[in-house]
Structure 1
């Protein structure tokens, strides 16, 4: 019978791996996590570590690699960053007491959406895992940040809105039914969010009744009505599937998740992904960094909790007037008291990331330093509370944490008595618990502290007893404690010394007394670690009973930090408190771009005023050359509207801004070569989204519509789009429309709520100076050649271009090689060939020729009919 080629260890490994096929299995062996077979090949390439093999001499060696147990976190982080899941398999029994193979089992699965360790997370960003489920034409979405206990749910019958919401959430991982794999929504999400890890789970996991029961069991409630989400069938199905998945992979209860919060998509100003990108709310367009974004300007927070909340406020601006006004009033109160604001912010700097510390404590992933940070944070609370008692804003009411402050301070006192200030980062290293906290531990600590004294005393006694002055008592990790004597003195070694090791110049010995001491000391160290571990776990459980109070404090502190950050920005950058208008008007007096002005010397940014309303100034056509500032005015208007809905003051002398349901932007375009989409196609797709979804309460920002195709096609599209937005739902929509098509200014003649504006330019001979000032009235010049010269185009090219332009204006330029030169009826043309001839309408000429004083009534009626037909035939 042929022998089984697999060792017991490999059999165990393969059995465990079969249970977790979609993960990289970290298999604990002593001080290392080992990986085998395909996992080893994959991981070694990502981690850049050596790939070796077991049984190298066999015909089919087993690939393997490994990482040290103590530094595994950094390696896991790199695998997670690449979108992989890691199953952590630990030894679940003491190898010294094991009979045969040590038992092992997976204690946790780490995925991109389920990370809580401090070193693996960006402290300023939520780390969401989400689930999506469809039920009866309704889509439900649930999100969970395991590291902060943020658990939310929503649903909508609008699939596009749900897909946009998933992009706005930006989860690291998304759960979908395995039946959707590779098709429909799955495929769309893969295209829209390329880095998203989609994890398929059984459709049975999305059962509404099972989900409801699971959540009620966890929250210990009879229903979910108390959370306000009992009616969200699709949403609850998604939430239950998500919660069950996380609970199963973490292999423990999630006691720090104390509530589920429903939210309505219509409760926020909607900013789709294109708008968020075009306005550079969170990421710079050039390098995806934070610098040069609205977030960079407004995020003056001093805590990780505040930074995450500020990011959420920017991505989810409010639409409720009362809630916006509450934030504005709180910011105003903080602006008015700069010294008090400074003191509060100094206190906030002492506060750690309570949300994530609480999660790590609840999940038994905390370190001694988490407790020290928690203690310092709690001890900073009383002074913060004292300072805030002077504020009247309900958002800054310290009653939110007053009731739990006593319990939190008691907890801080307990931590202070238990944990040493110089505690190491890992519990396994020992030296975590303070002397005086536990009598049994004190005895072992005392023994450890007096080890050196004992060894010095022993060495002195042995020197005196043997008369060997060069005798030394020493210790190393390999041989333990020993007595070392030079070979020149070995003739004086007593008979009871037992040789332990021979060196070139010395001999090492052990005695019964030293052996007993070694056994006592080594046992004491093990007992000390065991006792410290037990005491640490008891402390964790005690603190864990107050997770809800810690979370309440963290929520209050995050809100406080964010409001004071908005006040800091308002005060530092000379913003004004805006008014919330009632008549659908956006009136900005001397407005500035909040980001661009930060990159210019003080006073260099040119402010501009602007009025948008639903009666006379609904569609503003803005013309002017490149680099003059058209795009800046468009963006700064949209950003100021967003800032108001966040609850922020705005960069202006005065501002009245109405509530807005959605901001659409069509600014610039990038080729999507991978999917075969050209610049023009992307432009038209974004424009179609605007035309199909804008409402009279929206704000539309359009920059250079139609430039991606031929001039006449582009102009035709731009004209039609502007007209459509003016007439939208018989009410129109507030629109800023920047264009190089100067003929667009003609639209003002046909649409009553269209107004022309242009950017001022001063000409100096053959050059121009940009004044960056918005003026009433359109312009008929693009100054393209002058801008080209400013951009550094060689002078020979500039001169050639001027020559061509001159020929066109004189009607002598030949556009088709040897063909006859183009004539323009002896009329000079503008720099852009006009779409509209400034000729008199035929009806006007006919009217001028009439002799109305000598016409009979019948002749007058016939003439009126002729004029009507003439106007109808020649109208646009």
Structure 2
């Protein structure tokens, strides 16, 4: 019976340990894949599928990628969600006795990528562990490239909702969990369909409290999670997963940072999407988001920190004030800020370079980048020392110039080293005596070869004689066929070719031994010295990370100051109170998109007394949604420590921002537009507090007019009731009946977007003013959208008849004079069944809530029914 060859047995044994991974099996200069891995990889990477003899009757499917370009193929597989186990040759094949030893050196997963070419510079790559116990959760999150580690637990309220919101905040590229989470009905619709992540399930034993205690204490001197059991279980499991995949110590994870969700403003997943904080809704791009406007950072570290500030606005007024004061000082100090930003542009990603030190993947060029970055620190420190604001002043004391590391790299590493650390040429002359001696021997050896070549030409009289070198034969003397007769007797033939013969001599063999021995020795010695240097610098990772954090913070503050100065932003007053007062507020993104500086600013006043709810009416496209979003973004920016686009802003602290803007079917979970809308409204009403800010746009439009109006009415009453909620709310609607609530309920005020009528056309003034709109101008908006004139004219006739019949309020039909060439919609006698059905359908319509395209389709549909 046929059996696998020894090498394929080795492959199968290693593959058995990594069943959930694609195994990159090193064979010489290639990573090879076999059997099912080969079929999968050839399909996903679009590379040729071949076959190899494996000892069985059928050849094993095989494909491979070159070792030197493997990262390109690796990136494609990781981007598609696969895990890849890297299996290396653990000994030199030339020195091996029998089968070369091989083993997996690390497992690359979407959340454990450390290659900078596979990562976004200004975005963290988070790996999240979720521990589910019944209805409660422990969460642990790490970015292994920077060593940042956060953990929390959810043991109250709508816990699944809070879990989804935290997941949306971190946006992990990979999730690991225990099996219990995957049994919950929300798991597939959110994690798999919405996030596009299928969580990896870890065995229950890695979540055991005793195991996790031991795991945490093995890395840290003490356990900060003694009283947070769910967080502890998630943390221990996450540490175990990193160790088992990365096969290295985790010294750059210096501390676990426990946090409470309430420490930061809560922004649920729908609101993050609607407000476009870090990416746009339509195409998930940075351009067009709030981050795009505010990010003028000079370093990758600063970019990641600024993103984090926007994703988790502060709830502590003192912390907010300290950040605002620091931004103010930098904004006012134009010269200092400009010099700092120039210096910061020369700083590389110290955080991720520190991570590469720990993982042992740093090369000599990276160390040169680190040296260049650290050499800027004394100048940065000198500039910061002149600042007096608390946060800025403290930075000068915290900033470690790390001059000893700069001096060490400067002495040891060549200024322009090669990319590989195993090819030599990386150690600077004068750093190590033996390297210098061997390098000299190598250099002089090449001169010796040239001198020998000249001597042999003179001795033999063969002017074309050459001494050459290749990997297979080493050094040899090459003589053309025409000169073979002149070859001396002491020449020993090594190889015969078509046009020439290759020889060696005893003297050449001795010289070869001396030269090649020196070359190999110096390359090996340089690599050993580099490893020693890398380990020496790794012992200072804690100092490197502290300085990196300081630089990131300074960079983010400079960015906010630069944007505030360029765009005429104002310092907001943030306080523990209920008033949100904004004068001349502007939408930070929309105003940047307008090339002619034509953005119309608007005021806002919300409080917890007479102005709790602002009901905003006006036509579509007039700017209601933009206005409401700008209020939410100004509040968010203020609590993130940023200046805001306004002439004045006083922001009473907001604990949560909820938005319900726009409508779309959730086809993945089979939910209609209306169902999605109601689910989001239910979440808001269940989780909002009196200190929250609610942005609600067109509640109830996904159903019939009467149903939608009654729901919207009831929602406003519920929010306005201080015994139930009492949140500050902006509520946009086309239901003009809701404007009656101002006279019925204390705390509600009507506002509208001003419109100027000019004949049959309208001009949007974009100005919010007190009072309710008299109509929605749907037909005029349809005309602006390009609906054909015959449709517009007919729509006006129908609208006039509907208004006269007051069809929403008076069900009695009203006979009108027939329109020439068209059906009299309201004639009460002699109607066919089809005509009565059409009339009933028209009666149920709400023209103000029809888009132009919907109106056109509806008119066509009605016409077809009457043919």
- TM-score, normalization by structure 1: 0.90
> Structure 1: any 5+ residue segments left out of the alignment?
824-828, 834-876
* Structure 1 Cα separation of the partners of residues 25 and 540 of structure 2: 35
TM-score normalised per structure 2: 0.91
Q: Deviations over 1:132-170 (max 9, x none)?
A: 224585421111111101111111213221232122211
**Runs of 5+ in structure 2 lacking a partner?**
806-815, 817-823, 840-844, 850-867
Q: Please identify, of 717-726 and 90-99, the stretch whose mean Cα deviation from structure 2 is larger.
A: 90-99
2:306 pairs with 1:310: yes
Indicate conservation of the 8 Å contact 1:809/1:830, yes or no: no
Q: Does 1:169 align with 2:180?
A: no
- Cα contact 1:815–1:822 (8 A) shared by 2: no
Q: Are the equivalent residues in 2 in contact too, given 1:401–1:553 (CA < 8 A)?
A: no
1:724 aligns with 2:718: yes
Deviates more, 1:276-285 or 1:504-513: 504-513
Structure 1 contact 167–193 (Cα < 8 Å) conserved: no
In structure 1, how many angstroms separate the alpha carbons of the residues matched to 2:146 and 2:789?
60
In structure 1, C-alpha distance between the alignment counterparts of 2:773 and 2:260, rounded to whole Å? 45
SS in 1 for 2:314: coil
Q: Secondary structure at the match of 2:250?
A: coil
2:424 pairs with 1:430: yes
1:782 to 751, 776, 779: 776
- 2:721 match: secondary structure: helix
Please give the per-residue CA displacement for 1:285-337, whole angstroms capped at 9, x wherever unaligned: 12111110001011111101011111111110101100000000000000010
Deviates more, 1:599-608 or 1:618-627: 599-608
**Which has the higher mean CA deviation after the structures are superposed, 425-434 or 750-759?**
425-434
Residue of structure 2 equivalent to 1:814? 825
> Quick one: which of 748, 756, 771 aligns to 1:754?
748
Matched residue SS, 1:576: coil
- Which residue is equivalent to 1:216? 217
Give the secondary-structure state (helix, strand or coil) at the position aligned to 1:729: coil
Deviations 1:692-716 (A, max 9, x none): 1111100000111111111121111
Q: Does the aligned pair in 2 maintain the 1:332–1:577 contact within 8 Å?
A: yes
CA change 1:654–1:484 in 2 (3 A) is same
Question: Which residue does the alignment assign to 1:125?
Answer: 123
Q: Could you tell me how far apart the structure 2 residues matched to 1:820 and 1:124 are?
A: 62
Q: For residue 692 of structure 1, what is the aligned residue in structure 2?
A: 686
**Does the 8 Å contact 1:324/1:645 carry over to 2?**
yes
Q: 1:822 to 1:431 in 2, by over 3 A?
A: closer
152-161 or 56-65, which deviates more: 56-65
Other-structure match for 2:592: 598
Q: Is this contact kept in 1: 2:5–2:54, CA < 8 A?
A: no
Q: Give the corresponding residue for 1:270.
A: 266
Contact kept? 2:193, 2:668, Cα under 8 Å: no
The 1:84/1:831 distance shift into structure 2, 3 A limit, reads closer
Q: Compared with structure 1, are the counterparts of its residues 503 and 691 closer, same or farther at alpha carbon in structure 2 (3 Å cutoff)?
A: same
Structure 2 CA distance for aligned equivalents of residues 180 and 675 of structure 1: 18
Q: Which whole-Å CA distance do the structure 1 matches of 2:769 and 2:241 have between them?
A: 59
Report Cα offsets for 1:767-791 as digits up to 9, x if no partner.
1111100111001211111111111
d(CA) in 1 for partners of 2:529, 2:14:
32
* Match of residue 340 from structure 1: 336
Using a 3 Å threshold, how does the CA distance of structure 1 residues 117 and 731 change in structure 2: closer, same or farther?
Answer: closer
Contact 2:5 2:55 in 1 (8 A): no
* Count of residues in Structure 1 that have an aligned counterpart in Structure 2: 819
Q: Using a 3 Å threshold, how does the CA distance of structure 1 residues 831 and 729 change in structure 2: closer, same or farther?
A: same
1:851 corresponds to: none
The correspondence for 2:154, drawn from 156, 159, 163, is 156
- Provide Cα deviations, 1:807-851, integer angstroms capped at 9, x if missing partner: 33444351696568999xxxxx99869xxxxxxxxxxxxxxxxxx
| In structure 1, C-alpha distance between the alignment counterparts of 2:837 and 2:194, rounded to whole Å | 53
Contact 2:4/2:56, CA 8 A, preserved across alignment: no
Q: CA deviation at 1:184?
A: 5.0
Matched, 1:567 2:567: no
Cα deviation code 1:415-472 (max 9, x no counterpart): 1111112112221232111122112111222233334422321221111111222222
Secondary structure of 2:328's aligned partner? helix
* 2:323 aligned to which of 324, 327, 336: 327
Deviation at 1:182, TM superposition (A): 4.7
Match of 2:23 among 4, 22, 25: 25
Cα distance, 1:601 vs structure 2: 2.6
Report what 1:855 is aligned to. Answer: none
Is the 2:132–2:180 contact (alpha carbons within 8 Å) kept by the matching residues of 1?
no
Q: Structure 1 CA distance, aligned partners of 2:137 and 2:24? A: 37
1:519 aligns with 2:520: no
- Paired residue for 1:735? 729
Q: Is the CA contact (8 Å cut-off) linking 1:614 and 1:731 kept in structure 2?
A: no
Worse-matched range after superposition: 579-588 or 512-521 = 512-521
Q: 1:95 to 1:831 in 2, by over 3 A?
A: closer
| 2:628 aligned residue (634, 648, 651) | 634
- Name the Cα RMSD after superposition: 2.2
Alignment of 1:132-151 (within 5 A): 132-135=130-133, 138-151=136-149
Mapping of 1:527-538 within 5 angstroms? 527-538=521-532
1:206 lines up with 2:188 in the alignment: no
Answer yes or no: is the 8 Å Cα contact 1:435–1:445 preserved in 2: no
Question: Mean Cα displacement is larger for which, 471-480 or 808-817?
Answer: 808-817
> 2: CA distance between counterparts of 1:129 and 1:543?
26
Q: Return the alpha-carbon distance in structure 1 between the equivalents of residues 826 and 665 of structure 2.
A: 30
- From 91, 110, 115, the equivalent of 1:112 is 110
Alpha-carbon distance between aligned partners in 2 of 1:6 and 1:820, rounded to the nearest angstrom: 80
Moved more, 535-544 or 814-823: 814-823
Q: Deviations over 1:514-551 (max 9, x none)?
A: 22233333333322221111101100111011000000
CA contact (8 A) 1:180 1:186 kept: yes
- Picking from 375, 391, 395, the partner of 2:391 is 395
8 Å contact 2:48–2:63 — kept in the other structure? yes
Instruction: Confirm or deny: 8 A CA contact 1:155 1:162 kept in the other structure.
Output: no
| TM-superposition CA deviations, 1:662-696 (whole Å, max 9, x none) | 01000002211122111111111111111111111
> What secondary structure sits across from 1:25 in the alignment?
strand
Pair 1:449–1:815, CA change in 2 (3 A): farther
> For residues 401 and 554 of structure 1, do their structure 2 counterparts lie closer, same or farther at Cα, with a shift above 3 Å needed?
farther
Q: 1:186: Cα distance to partner?
A: 4.4
Residues 185 and 763 from structure 1, CA distance in 2 versus in 1: closer, same or farther, beyond 3 angstroms?
closer
Cα distance between partner residues in 1 of 2:370 and 2:251: 18
Q: Does the alignment pair 1:618 with 2:629?
A: no
Question: How far apart are the structure 2 equivalents of 1:642 and 1:70?
Answer: 46
Distance 2:186 2:764 in 1: 48
1:106–1:831 CA distance, 2 compared to 1 (3 A): closer
The 1:224–1:754 alpha-carbon spacing in structure 2 relative to 1, beyond 3 Å, is same
Distance 1:390-1:694 versus aligned 2 partners, 3 A rule? same
State the Cα deviation string for residues 577-621 of structure 1 (Å, max 9, x = none). Answer: 011144300110000000000011353110001101111111111
Counterpart of 1:12 in structure 2 is 10
- Residues 1:659 and 2:659 aligned together: no
Partner of 1:841: none
Match of 1:449 in 2: 443
Matched-pair contact (CA < 8 Å) for 1:696–1:729: no
